[in-house]
Amino acid sequence: MFSENKTAYLLLIITTLGWGCNAVFAKLAVGEVSPMLLVSIRWLITMVLLVCLFWKKLQEEREIILSHWRYLFIIGTAGYTGFTTLIYLGAHSTTAVNIGIIQGSMPAMILIGSYLFYKTPVNVPQILGVLITIVGVIIVSTAGDVMVLTNLMFNHGDLLMLIAVVLYAAYTLGLRKNPGLGSLTLFVTLSIAAFVSSIPMTILEIFNDQAHWPTLRGWIIIMMIVIYPSFISQISFIKSVGLIGPGRAGIFVNLVPIFSSILAVNYLGETFESYHSVALLLVFAGIFLFERFKAV
């Protein structure tokens, strides 16, 4: 069990670092490729690579896939296509402060969902751990000025962000119902679902003359997204959920805005402030508290 925990922790750090990179890649992609084309091309390339690499595994587990294709399509659409698409769309009509705060609610949603649907036991220290990590995320999101919260105005973009967080929380909980597929086969199947479900919105983007085909720099960014956030991070997350469950894995999601901030300092020229250090300590303290007093 201890060895499994260490493996899961390492996988989750790899996962959240990749998702932190994805936030930077998303900013770099602005003006280089339109949102829905980015989503579709990302999952098309990922899908093709995975199918080529793991075709034999797909054939070996074909019967399970065909028997549960509706479930697989739903969670792939929710966790991969839906979440990413709503993030891109919501960013056009809400602030970075709101996005950070709303994303910080994901572990709490996963914890609540784990308790409601799987009767996963939780205790007061774990709840406190979740709250501490959320405080850390709020500090990052408000640039250390929590008084910003008094001026928040929720709009259409905020609603889209909230739906996005709910979708990824549902996806995370859905992974627990894996019908018996290996991690790689599951990821291949979900990537196929992600690409297929992204097509209608991409067609709509093209039809409305809002499509912007990738520039050379855009293609480079897409390939970086495919390799790390799309491939390495997703495989790591699926394996970690299998090891320690969605509730415990979900708390690590609060590392994403922390990693995003650190990466932004190095690659987007943003300044590392003292509040980043405070937020980082709070997030790690919350995760430690959550794990130290996990219910058994």
For residue range 14-69, list pLDDT tens digits in order.
Answer: 998 988 887 778 778 878 989 899 999 999 999 999 999 899 999 999 999 999 99
Return the pLDDT at 143: 66
CB atoms < 10 A from the CB of 139, how many? 23
DSSP result, 14-48:
HHHHHHHHHHHHHHHHTTTS-HHHHHHHHHHHHHH
Q: Quote the mean pLDDT of the chain.
A: 83
66 Cβ neighbours under 8 A, 6+ residues apart? none
Tokens found for residue 40: 């579709």
Q: What is the DSSP string of 75-122?
A: HHIIIIIIHHHHHHHHTTTS-HHHHHHHHTTHHHHHHHHHHHHH----
Rounded CA-CA distance 8/113 in Å is 20
Q: Rounded mean pLDDT of 202-206?
A: 95
Contact 213, 33 (CB under 8 A): yes
Cβ neighbours of residue 140 closer than 8 Å, sequence gap 6 or more: 100, 257, 258, 261, 275, 276, 279
Binned at pLDDT 50, 70 and 90, residue 13 comes out as very high
Q: Which pLDDT does position 115 carry in this prediction?
A: 80
User: Alpha-carbon distance 246 to 243, whole Å?
Assistant: 9
Comparison of pLDDT for 5 and 240, the residue scoring more: 240
pLDDT for the residue 101: 63
Query: How many Å apart are CA 54 and CA 56, to the nearest integer?
Result: 5
Assign 294 to helix, strand or coil: coil
* pLDDT on residue 141: 65
Distances (CA, A) of 108 to 58, 113, 248: 34, 8, 11
Share of the chain above pLDDT 90, in %: 33
Q: For residues 214 and 258, which has the higher predicted lDDT (pLDDT)?
A: 214
- What pLDDT does residue 244 have? 84
The pair of structure tokens assigned to 88 is 């891109």
